[in-house]
């Protein structure tokens, strides 16, 4: 019997059974375009997808999924491995939507990968010019998504919109001229109808900015210069013309707070990196957290972690937004472990420092004073003779994402213990050439070797709750789950699973390459919780064996 649509509709009204039929039809066609509400919900709804860089807008990287537990995690099985077949390594966080992974890789190659099989669905490859100035590897840190569109920044300083179904370019916006040192590597941040991005190039004498583009058209909505221009507040924090080439890139994704309508971005180092006399003053807004209105790009407030930085302490770490119980009240806070060696809890509405405490050995400043300014130690100005400072230029931590467990209010970070001799000397600015005014030599000998430690920090006090020590510093991002698991990596290629309450090692696997700035994600697929790990040039998917008893508590 042939059913017309109207007859089917009538049947659906009459028969309870038909409701199942319509549901099945909906499932076959997928969950539909990604909405702004999906992004605001983040992992809150059911944690089955992973739609933004940080899992949610607050960058918690905390999943509500509980099928994999401390008791059964050692039974995890690899399901498949995906190889990029490119040069260079992953530095990405993958997205998962409707059983498909969306992945950016080195050299602006990107893929849609079937999460069931690890097989490629489409591949995008950008023709890149051969005279790129990207300072630190031809990397990319991930997609953003809205509707049926993916957004990706490029090494030649463009922002692309790609069709999620095909990988075809929908629009291509130019951020700036790559030939004079601009590049872009961060995962974009979608807020409402805009795509927010920043530029790298702090080692090439750029003048940094944060841009917003219309998600539909690619038309620029606003630009916020991270270095103020003439007449703007903060302009006189740069001597002479140094503001024109003062760096201050933005190359790590920020956070978004829908309640206060604010985006939070960490900014990079002033340039030249090590030669302070080339740019006297505080050098606003370098090494800062800048908080902008996402509709207009107007600055709401800023906090400068390292005024007049001379050690390349970019504040390009991932900000985490959290509501903390402090003195019997709930306070809206920003949690920030900084490359300069200090851990900060800031008031999210005002930028006032609530907690500032070193989380690694830190020698350049004694403490942060009540006004939020570092109390400097003497003898930490790099010159031709060299001076020794901890942490080294890579810092106490860096771009690799931390995680936050909102149930226990614990903040997790992959910390580095390392010192260096810093050298500073005058360099001349030549457009498109490296402009660092110095360099560092890592202190690494028989008696003093750098090491790593994955640390759990109480953001209310700044106290360390536990640590997991590693012989080689790690650059791995962190994922935590509601079943008290912490997924990350060490500095020698091991995937680590720790108990997030104690730091005890539960399981490990030697992947053959580190999680260099990558972070595992977790999602549901056909009723099983999966963990996806990018490392080196591979993605590896893990799950418990089929038919294993669910570990729900």
Does the protein bind other proteins through residue 361 (CB under 8 A)? no
For residue 430, the minimal CB distance to other proteins (Å) is: 7
Instruction: Find the part of the chain contacting other proteins (CB under 8 A) among 66-74, 361-369, 410-418, 425-433.
Output: 425-433
Nearer to other proteins, 55 or 424 (CB): 424
234: its two tokens? 């903060």
DSSP string for 248-278: ----S--EEETTTTEEEEE---BSSSS-GGG
Does the protein bind other proteins through residue 508 (CB under 8 A)? yes
435 and 425 in contact (C-beta within 8 Å)? no
Count of residues near other proteins by CB under 8 A: 31
467-506: contacts with other proteins (CB under 8 A): 470-472, 490, 492-494
For residue 410, the minimal CB distance to other proteins (Å) is: 22
109 and 125 in contact (C-beta within 8 Å)? yes
For residue 382, the minimal CB distance to other proteins (Å) is: 9
Torsion of CA 394, 400, 404, 410, to 10 degrees: -30
DSSP 544: P
Place of tokens 């070797």: 449
Does the protein bind other proteins through residue 388 (CB under 8 A)? no
Which of 9, 21, 376, 430: binder of other proteins (CB under 8 A)? 430
Does the protein bind other proteins through residue 441 (CB under 8 A)? yes
Based on the residue annotation, tell me whether 312 is a catalytic residue of this protein. yes
Instruction: Find the part of the chain contacting other proteins (CB under 8 A) among 49-57, 253-261, 286-294, 422-430.
Output: 422-430
Q: Please identify which of the residues 312, 392, 405, 490 carries the catalytic annotation.
A: 312
Does the protein bind other proteins through residue 426 (CB under 8 A)? yes
Nearer to other proteins, 374 or 395 (CB): 395
Kind and range of the H or E run holding 16: helix 16-28
106-135: contacts with other proteins (CB under 8 A): 135
Does the protein bind other proteins through residue 521 (CB under 8 A)? no
Residue 357 vs residues 311, 336, 343: alpha-carbon distances, Å: 19, 11, 5
Nearer to other proteins, 127 or 130 (CB): 130
Helix (H, G, I), strand (E, B) or coil at 72: coil
Which of 425, 499, 501, 548: binder of other proteins (CB under 8 A)? 425
Does the protein bind other proteins through residue 385 (CB under 8 A)? yes
Does the protein bind other proteins through residue 427 (CB under 8 A)? yes
Does the protein bind other proteins through residue 446 (CB under 8 A)? yes
Does the protein bind other proteins through residue 434 (CB under 8 A)? yes
Determine the length of the chain. 553
Which of 329, 370, 445, 549: binder of other proteins (CB under 8 A)? 445
Nearer to other proteins, 233 or 471 (CB): 471
7: its two tokens? 């007859």
CB-based contacts of 474, cutoff 8 Å, min separation 6: 400, 414, 416, 452, 454, 488, 489, 490, 491, 514, 515
Q: How far apart are CA 80 and CA 118, in angstroms?
A: 6
Nearer to other proteins, 42 or 536 (CB): 536
Nearer to other proteins, 148 or 383 (CB): 383
Does the protein bind other proteins through residue 421 (CB under 8 A)? yes
Helix (H, G, I), strand (E, B) or coil at 220: strand
Nearer to other proteins, 171 or 466 (CB): 466
Q: How far apart are CA 498 and CA 241, in angstroms?
A: 50
* Residue 501, burial from CB neighbour count under 10 angstroms (0-12, 13-18, 19+): middle
DSSP 274: S
214: its two tokens? 């219309």
Nearer to other proteins, 181 or 401 (CB): 181
Which of 401, 424, 462, 520: binder of other proteins (CB under 8 A)? 424
Q: How far apart are CA 485 and CA 428, in angstroms?
A: 50
For residue 231, the minimal CB distance to other proteins (Å) is: 31
Does the protein bind other proteins through residue 384 (CB under 8 A)? yes
Helix (H, G, I), strand (E, B) or coil at 87: coil
Angle at 368 between CA 455 and CA 380, to 5 degrees: 90
Q: Give the distance between the most distant pair of CA atoms in the chain.
A: 90
Residues of this chain that interact with other proteins (CB under 8 A) are 135, 383-386, 421-428, 430, 433-434, 438-441, 445-446, 470-472, 490, 492-494, 508, 510
- Catalytic residue numbers? 312
């Amino acid at each position: 019997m042939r059913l017309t649509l109207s007859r089917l509709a009538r049947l659906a009204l009459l028969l309870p059974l038909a409701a199942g039929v319509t549901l099945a039809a909906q499932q076959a066609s997928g969950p539909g375009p990604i909405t702004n509400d999906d992004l605001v919900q983040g992992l809150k709804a059911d944690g089955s997808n992973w739609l933004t860089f940080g899992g949610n807008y607050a960058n918690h990287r905390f999943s509500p999924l509980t099928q994999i537990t401390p008791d059964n995690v050692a039974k995890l099985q690899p399901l498949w491995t995906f190889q990029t077949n490119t040069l260079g390594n992953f530095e990405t966080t993958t997205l998962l939507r409707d059983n498909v992974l969306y992945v950016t890789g080195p050299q602006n190659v990107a893929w849609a990968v079937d999460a069931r099989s690890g097989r490629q669905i489409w591949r995008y490859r950008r023709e890149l010019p051969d005279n790129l100035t990207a300072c630190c590897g031809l990397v990319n840190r991930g997609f953003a998504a809205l509707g049926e569109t993916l957004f990706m920044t490029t090494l030649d300083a463009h922002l692309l919109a790609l069709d999620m179904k095909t990988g075809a370019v929908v629009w291509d916006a130019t951020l700036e001229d790559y030939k004079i040192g601009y590049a872009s590597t961060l995962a974009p941040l979608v807020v409402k109808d805009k795509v927010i991005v920043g530029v790298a190039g702090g080692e090439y004498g750029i003048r940094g900015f944060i841009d917003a583009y219309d998600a539909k058209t690619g038309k620029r909505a606003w630009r916020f210069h991270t270095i103020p221009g003439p007449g703007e507040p903060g302009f006189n924090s740069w001597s002479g013309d140094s503001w024109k080439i003062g760096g201050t890139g933005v190359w790590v994704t920020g956070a978004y707070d829908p309640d206060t309508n604010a985006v939070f971005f960490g900014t990079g180092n002033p340039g030249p990196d090590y030669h302070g006399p080339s740019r006297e003053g505080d050098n606003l807004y370098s090494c800062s957290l800048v908080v902008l209105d996402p509709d207009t790009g107007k600055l709401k407030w800023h906090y400068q972690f390292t005024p007049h930085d001379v050690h390349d302490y970019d504040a390009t770490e991932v900000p985490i937004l959290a509501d903390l119980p402090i003195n019997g009240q709930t306070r809206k806070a920003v949690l920030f472990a900084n490359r300069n060696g200090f851990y900060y809890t800031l008031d999210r509405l005002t930028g006032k420092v609530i907690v500032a405490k070193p989380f690694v050995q830190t020698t350049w400043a004694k403490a942060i004073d009540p006004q939020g300014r570092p109390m400097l130690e003497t003898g930490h100005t790099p010159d031709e003779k060299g001076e020794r400072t901890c942490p080294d230029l890579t810092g106490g931590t860096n771009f690799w994402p931390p995680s936050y467990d909102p149930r226990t209010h614990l903040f997790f970070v992959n910390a580095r213990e390392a010192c260096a001799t810093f050298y500073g000397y005058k360099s001349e600015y030549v457009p498109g050439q490296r402009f660092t005014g110095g360099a560092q030599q890592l202190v690494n000998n028989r008696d003093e070797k750098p090491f790593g430690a994955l640390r759990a920090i109480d953001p209310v006090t700044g106290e360390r709750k536990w640590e997991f020590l590693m012989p080689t510093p790690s650059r791995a991002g962190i994922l935590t789950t509601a079943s008290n698991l912490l997924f990350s990596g060490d500095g020698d290629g091991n995937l680590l699973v720790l108990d997030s309450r104690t730091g005890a090692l539960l399981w490990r696997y030697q992947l053959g390459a580190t999680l260099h700035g990558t972070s595992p994600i977790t999602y549901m697929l056909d009723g099983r919780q999966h963990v996806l790990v990018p490392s080196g040039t591979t993605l590896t998917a893990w799950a418990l064996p089929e038919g294993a008893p669910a570990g729900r508590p």
